[in-house]
Every structure is written in C-alpha cells, then in structure tokens.
Amino acid sequence: MPEGGRLTVAHLTTVDMSLALLLACELKVDVEAGFDVVGISSPGPYVAGVEALGVTHLPVHSFTRHWDLRRDLAAAAELYRVLRRLRPDVLHTHTPKAGVLGRVLGRLAGVPVVVDTCHGLWMREGDRPAKRAIVVAIEAAASAFAHFELYQNGADRRSLRPFVGDRRARVVGNGVDLARFGFDAVGREAVRGELGVGPDDLLVGGVGRRVAEKGLIELGEAARALAGKARFVWVGPDDGESVAPEGLEFLPCRSDMPALYSALDVFVLPSYREGFSRSAMEASACGRPMVLSDIRGCRDVGEHDRHLVLVPAQDATALTAALDRLLADPGLRDRLGRAAAARAVEAFDQRKVAQASIDTYRLVARRRRLGWALP
C-alpha cells in the first residue's frame, strides 16, 4: 500500500476501446471509492476519454486484440515491466488475451491481489470439442494464477467449475450505466431527422464491431429480404477485419448512444459469440424491442418472447422471420420494449457489478491477511 493509504487498482485490457466502452462505469466507481485507478492497454483514440474519468493510462504498445506469437511475447515483456514499475495493489484483468497474460504476469510481478473477469470464453457453442477443450484448458491454466475469478454468465462458470472451485469464483453478471442509458424521445427525433427517417418509417439497427462474428452476413441477407419494410443500419468501429454486406448502412461510432438506440424501432444482434452483450443491455435500458442470437451471453439478457426474441445463430432465414414478425406488429414491439426496460432496471445496474469487484478485492485481501482498509 502506498504512503497516504490510497490503494492502486489497475484494470488491464488489450485495447483502449475496451477500457472506454466496457469498463467506463466500473472505472468511475473505483475513482469515486477513493482508489488510485490505472488503465493499462494499447494506446489509441479512446485514451483521452479514459483519462477524463480521473484514470491514469499506461500504454502497452505491443498489445493487439488478436493472437500473434511474436507480438504477444513482446507485449508480455512490456507488460511485466509496467507492472513492476507501477506495483499496483490490485490487478483486475479483462478480455481473453489480457486475462491470460495478465493473470500470469501479475502473480510473477508480485501483485498482492489478482482478479479476472471472464467477459466470455473465446469459443462458440457450435465449435468442435477439440477447440473448446483447448480454450477451457488455457483458461483453467491461467485461472490458477488468479486469486479470484468473476464470470459474467453462468455458462462460462459451468465450463470452468471443474478447475476453479466455488471458494474463489462467482457469477456477477454484467451491467450498464443506467443513469446514462434510458429512452430519449428528443434524441430519437434528432437522430431520425439526421438519418432522414420519416415518422412512419421503420428503422432496424445493431451496434458492435463490424466483423462477421457479429452476424453481419446474416443480417445483410435479412435486410435484402425485407427491403422496403424497414431501413437497416449498423453502428460500430472498423477494426481491420470489417465486412460490409449489401443491404446494411454502416454508421461510424457515435457519442450519443442513448439517442441512437432510442431512434431504432428494433434492435438486432445476430452474434455468434458473446460474453454478456453490452449493446443488448444498453438497448434494453432504452426500451427497445430486440432480436438476439440464442447463445450464451444473449440468453442472459432476457427470456424469449417475454423480454426479447431469440433466434438460432448463423440462421438468416430464422433471423428474417423474427424481424418480419416484429416489423409487422407494433403491439408486440411495444410489449417487448416495455418488458426490456423493466428487466434492465431490475438486473443491469453496472454500479452493482463494480461494487461486486470491490467486494472481491476486500475478500481476497482479508483472506491473504494484507491488513488493508478498503473503502
């Protein structure tokens, strides 16, 4: 513990976008709690926003989102030097690669408390058993270096339970900043006006990286099949692997996301893999009717035909039918939207998730007899 009694909590991700978009609320809660908060990731355009939260950013220039043995070895050496220089009291790792490297290097660097949040195992439900076994084996090996494991969904917890006992693991769910995300009637009209969407027109859209595993190929097929019934847009960053199927309009990242969600008549996320979909939770908080893939991390957002509609992943025909059903039934859209908003208030408060992280730091410190007085 540094002089003055303020503990340093470092949150580690591979890229700065994850610090800004996935962890902003958790970072704010840590700052408000009185920690010295550090974000560690590769540098990029989101660093300024992270630092505006009162967070110090430390770069690991070699970090990339994708696995690359040469660069990953360089990133590991660079990260170890950062941790030895910083000497944080808590290292909280996030995202698959940062979680593996961070847990191992955090312990080797002597960090007193190492905690990992599993934002979704790097595998799809239809993957071959051999691939799933490799992913689980890597995660199980990395988890041996952590003092505690937090899971965003129960399916991932069940996959790792044989290797990580209940004494040092729990499911905490996921959440969004409910003070920010809610239906915005004024913003809805502004965004629809900007996009040239008339009052009687229907707008369908999704939010996320512009990659195939978000289901954009299937969504493009649905958009072409439903041309004339609705306009289809996708909002998100180009991360170097972008796809651009016909039928979809691609919009750049925006800062007015509550207004953007509110402008949609239907939110859609036909993803192949999710840990616990943040964009779906944000759309839920904004009261949007939703069509999501029937996969772990989307099933957690709500129940089929109660809060949302679930469809099989990688099934363009089922996706088209579900979207057509919602477009044709304004009463169904209204019912699902109201149920989604109520579900968000009940289950998706990220401040509670952030407090669960702080409670975990406190638990580990007590078990390790560190003598900390955590806020």
**271-286: b (≥16 Cβ within 10 Å) or e:** bbbbbbbbbbbbbbbb
Which long-range CB contacts under 8 A does 161-167 form with residues at least 24 apart? Answer: 163/136, 163/139, 164/140
Q: Supply the pLDDT for residue 74.
A: 96
Predicted local confidence at residue 375, as pLDDT: 67
Instruction: Find the mean pLDDT for residues 193-222.
Output: 96
pLDDT tens readout for residues 297-342: 999 999 999 999 999 999 999 999 999 999 999 999 999 999 999 9
Q: Is 188 helix (H, G, I), strand (E, B) or coil?
A: helix
Lowest mean pLDDT among 51-65, 170-184, 232-246, 348-362: 232-246
Which of 299, 319, 297, 318 lies closest to 307, judged by CA? 299
* Contact by Cβ (8 Å): 99, 137: no
Residue 149 has phi, psi (to 5 degrees) of -120, 130
Average pLDDT over residues 278-283: 96
What number of residues does the chain have?
375
Q: Look at residue 350 and give its three-state secondary structure.
A: helix
Cβ neighbours for 140, distance < 8 A, ≥ 6 positions apart: 160, 163, 164
Quick one: pLDDT at residue 3?
Answer: 46
Q: Which pLDDT score is estimated for 161?
A: 95
Q: What is the mean pLDDT of the chain?
A: 94
Kindly report, residue by residue over 76-97, the tens digit of the pLDDT.
Answer: 999 999 999 999 999 999 999 9
Distance CA 48, CA 45 (A): 7
CA dihedral 105, 107, 109, 113 (to 10 degrees): 120
User: E-strand spans in the chain?
Assistant: 8-15, 36-42, 56-59, 90-94, 113-118, 148-151, 169-171, 203-207, 231-235, 249-251, 266-269, 290-293, 309-311
Give the pLDDT confidence of 58-72 residue by residue, as tens digits. Answer: 999 999 988 888 999
Reported as a single tens digit per residue, the pLDDT across 124-141 is 777 889 999 999 999 999
Residue 5: CB atoms within 10 A of its CB come to 9
pLDDT in tens, 139-151: 999 999 999 999 9
Q: Give the pLDDT confidence of 170-197 residue by residue, as tens digits.
A: 999 999 999 999 999 999 999 999 999 9
CA dihedral 41, 214, 307, 119 (to 10 degrees): -30
3-state DSSP of 254-296: CCCHHHHHHHCCEEEECCCCCCCCHHHHHHHHCCCCEEEECCC
Q: Domains of the chain by range and CATH?
A: 8-175+349-367 (3.40.50.2000), 185-347 (3.40.50.2000)
Please, which residues bridge with residue 364 across strands? none
Q: Which has the closest alpha carbon to 23: 284, 279, 354, 280? A: 354
